[in-house]
Structure 1
């Protein structure tokens, strides 16, 4: 008396197909769940028993042992409920045991037998299809999300009785309203803000355009009201639409995080995340009990992570961003397992020049002491700033400033520059200049040292590190792409140096 079906365990975005086996033995009634389940999964025994009896099915009064194989793989969450129930009913002969063995079942059960939606359905179904199990049963609220996976044969069920009927059981299917996915955060359909809303700030607007064209990280320092937040919020509108593989990956991250609205389809636009400065390290880079969940850094994958009032963030939070800035992914180690989440985002930092915010320019209105200013900006540690390609100073905004170009005009130039980079690095696996190793970019500059003479002097003076040299060269290539050149000139290298050092390194 053995029943088998399948479920999916997620570690990060990586899905592992789990074989769910249920064995019924003629002994005193008991229900044992083995295979390294976490606390929420261990509680499925009570949910499954109540759901089966509430669905009008007979609960087998035998010793039931359910094994989740491979037993060494950590398993977490309530998404295994449906598979445990189906395997148990298959062992009892209530459903076709041979038929359910080729299906994957994902979903949480309510005590009344209804199916409740779960997180991570998109990567779970993708893992099932990749493992050769395209037939998947999911809660009705997750059916639209599961259908986004090519090659999947999806059945959206409203209840356990509905699932049993699909598998040939003689059971009355109740007419119930599908449980809505209350964890999903519907995306706003509001139009993206336009760059023309920003008055003046020509240099900062140019810096944002360069950042968008090359995928560079950006720091903006200026007084309150200078337009730092407005510029950061308009950066995603300059970025091109996500390509199909990126759209699937970004959507999978948001599915695991529970912030995906499947009614709008795949996420095609670059995401924008702006956590508050009181955010913890776990909320920014990911964490939580058991298998860690993705944080704001991973939800910003292929988009923008904006930290407003960056010096107000805890130093521990800022320093955790060094790994994704270098590697484009986050590796979270926990006792329950290791989760990997993609995190190739553009980091945008905004800061006041001092705690009071009036220390820009000559700083005549500043009331901060010198040690307060040093302590305030010193929170942005050197190793983090050394990874930020563009560092701009914004002057105070003036009422007489005129609006600049709209987003559409700037986005067209950004698209041309990105197309040039895609053609240049085709076959290498890089898409933007920000991803290319500095050594490869320097090789393409040629043997003429006069091109980088300004960089050599900046290194000798200590105003630029060797990592900073690579960052400047990357920005110089982006400036050349925006100008339609095949390689940067010395003037563009000098401009990139000025954009890197806020005018103090040339």
Structure 2
């Protein structure tokens, strides 16, 4: 007898429906065909043990499981449940006619219990798109799948519950959530707040400018100056996620298996801080069946690279294209997958190996040329993609003991959102441009116009400070953002002057 059940395979951040055909016929042996990986081939033992534990029998005849289309690679243990139900139906131990109405996914334990799977959200989206009535899946994944409306999300704890539901012996109420209500309840709630930071007003100002224009930032300063603490608070002043951004981020985390049990919609900006021992593939994504890397997990949020020179050179260089194109393409012999990677890069570093170059009180003990060699670990092309270079100085004792509470994140965020609204209006005819940092060079000349006095100031600064040619566009973009924060239609001299000071690493002789 031929039986068909339906599952799903995830490639990139999209899902594709898989038809699982099961035939029980005369003969012996168990076969799984259709490009399954070893985990799926091992499903025979898990399915057989689960069937026996629940009082069913495993056919002692020839069982062929075909996973179509056969040219798409299938991976993981999430096909255990549809294979098991297909075997039951093909061997006439399950008599329901409702199998074709549902996408079914779940990993089986040996006692027939179900374990959670990854990639549930894109699977649910595809199931609704293809007209399935519902989605039968492990209970731990139900909240995530319920983000998708107009789809019956049926949570089950065991294979027996799925059988009873399909045969009509047990009613299971579909999980329903109000997506917008859930999104709004916990939206924009961050544990860290700028109100906790005493002093460092110039750094807060730089991060506010970065948030307002979507600019990348590098902070240079001695150990203990507060670089990491400030970076962790940056998401709290970024504009709140909208529903589309939340769905994009949730899909990526779902595919990567980072959502956790009973998780639902991501409603705060992601903040990813990988260790400096990370590999190229872990940062940008990849693998046999390509998975999203840290830069994609930071999509719509912040990627923080602490101690930037300690990262391997090759790891840093692979970020060049994603920083420009806001996406990363993983190419393999048979497929090419795009992962979104629209993130803000925040980096921090010590000014030298000992950490005290340019320190106001402690003396640097690094030898001649050591500081420059340390800085050269970060390549010019990567620095070219970082708009603001900020020097961080230690907080004084008086600042640390200040009792007056600092400005909180919500107040700063309101100013950032107003600046972003001006940019949205400016770029309303360009759907791929959402902030000043995303402007191409040809657009900078039209939008970031400066008067003759500003041209004179910029020329003088580039000559006297030895600023590089790559600093020119960056200064104009940052000055445009500063003007947006000031609600100014045109770039004024103070805006330009403030932008110029954020190019520390472009100055000749900065490191001696």
TM-score (normalised: structure 2):
0.88
**For the Cα contact (< 8 Å) 1:291–1:334, is it kept in 2?**
no
- Once residues 311 and 208 of structure 1 are traced to their aligned partners in structure 2, the CA distance between those partners, rounded to angstroms, is 21
Match of 2:436 in 1: 433
* Distance (whole Å) between structure 2 residues aligned to residue 480 and residue 120 of structure 1: 42
Q: 1:11 to 1:455 in 2, by over 3 A?
A: farther
CA distance 1:35–1:454, change in 2 (3 Å) = farther
Q: Does residue 406 of structure 1 match 2:408?
A: yes
Classify 1:21/1:465 alpha carbon distance in 2 versus 1 (closer, same or farther; 3 Å).
Answer: farther
Question: Which residue is 1:111 aligned to?
Answer: 110
**Larger CA deviation: 6-15 vs 129-138:** 129-138
Shift in CA distance, 67/218, structure 1 to aligned 2, threshold 3 Å: same
Equivalent residues of 2:272, 2:294 under 8 A apart: yes
Aligned to 1:183: none
CA drift at 1:148: 1.2
Residue 464, structure 1, aligned to residue 468, structure 2: yes
1:309 paired residue number: 307
Q: Which moved more, 1:449-458 or 1:301-310?
A: 449-458
* 1:39 and 2:67 are equivalent in the alignment: no
Deviation at 1:447, TM superposition (A): 8.8
- Asked if 2 retains the 8 angstrom alpha-carbon contact of 1:11 and 1:338, the reply is no
Matched position secondary structure for 2:127: helix
The Cα offsets for residues 347-401 of structure 1, whole Å up to 9 and x where unpaired, read as: 1111111010111257971111123222221111111111001111122321123
1: CA distance between counterparts of 2:338 and 2:213?
Answer: 25
1:167 corresponds to: 166
Alpha-carbon separation, structure 2, partners of 1:251 and 1:365: 47
Q: Unpaired segments of 5 or more residues in structure 1? A: 174-186
State the shift of 1:459 in Å. Answer: 7.2
Aligned positions of 1:382-421 closer than 5 A: 382-401=380-399, 404-421=406-423
> Given that residues 218 and 347 in structure 1 are in contact (C-alpha distance below 8 angstroms), is that contact kept between their aligned partners in structure 2?
yes
Secondary structure of the residue that 1:347 maps to in structure 2? Answer: strand
Query: Is the contact between residue 438 and residue 471 of structure 1 (CA under 8 Å) also seen in structure 2?
Result: no
Please give the root-mean-square deviation of Cα atoms over the aligned residues, in Å.
2.8
Q: Work out whether residues 32 and 66 of structure 2, in 8 Å CA contact, stay in contact via their aligned partners in 1.
A: yes
1:283-302 equivalences under 5 Å are 283-288=282-287, 290-302=288-300
- Comparing 316-325 with 376-385, greater Cα deviation is found at 316-325
Shift in CA distance, 240/112, structure 1 to aligned 2, threshold 3 Å: same
Distance 1:95 1:470 in 2: 68
Q: Which residue of the partner structure matches residue 484 of structure 1?
A: 487
Q: Is 1:144 paired with 2:148?
A: no
Q: Secondary structure at the match of 1:36?
A: coil
TM-score normalised according to structure 1 size? 0.89
| Residues 452 and 8 of structure 1: CA distance in aligned 2, closer, same or farther (over 3 Å) | farther
1:32 and 1:278 map into 2 onto residues whose CA distance is: 42
SS of 2:498's partner is helix
Q: Secondary structure at the match of 1:370?
A: coil
Alignment of 1:57-456 (within 5 A): 57-96=56-95, 98-168=97-167, 192-261=191-260, 263=262, 265-288=264-287, 290-334=288-332, 337-361=335-359, 365-401=363-399, 404-429=406-431, 430-445=433-448, 451-452=454-455
1:222-277 C-alpha deviation (Å, 9 max, x unpaired): 11122211110111110122100110111122222222146453111101111222
Change in CA separation of 1:321 and 1:83 when aligned onto 2, cut-off 3 Å = same
For residues 252 and 11 of structure 2, the distance between their equivalents in structure 1, rounded to whole angstroms, comes to 12
2:182 — aligned with what? Answer: none
Deviations 1:22-60 (CA, angstroms, capped at 9, x unpaired): 12222x222111111111122112222222222222322
> In the superposition, relative to structure 1, how do residues 57 and 263 fare at CA in structure 2: closer, same or farther (>3 Å)?
closer
How many residue pairs get aligned? The number is 488
